Amino acid sequence: MAIYDPIFVKEFADNLYKQAKTIVPAHFFIGMFSGMFLFGFISVALVNSLDLLIIIIGVLIGGVMGYGSGRYKAAELKLQAQLALCQVKIEENLRNPD
């Protein structure tokens, strides 16, 4: 049988917060590169060469979309951390009634 360990839950919550800090820039850059490649293919298909303006638009759109998705994922990770910490606090209050 598993034993309840509040230290493990707190460390897990700390790791979730660390992930939340790095996920926004990661999604932003992934979005930028995805937009660059996708709009590069679109540029070749439309004008039969790489058009810098189309690629820049793709980078901007991809960056904005990546930033938005990164912020959403970061908020989701922070919520999970808060729920875990809340459960630890509930357990502490129930074990040690004042």
Query: 6-60, pLDDT tens digit by residue?
Result: 899 999 999 999 999 999 999 999 999 999 999 999 999 888 888 889 999 999 9
By C-alpha distance, which of 3, 2, 12 is closest to 85? 12
pLDDT of residue 95: 81
Angle at 57 between CA 54 and CA 61, to 5 degrees: 140
pLDDT of residue 98: 58
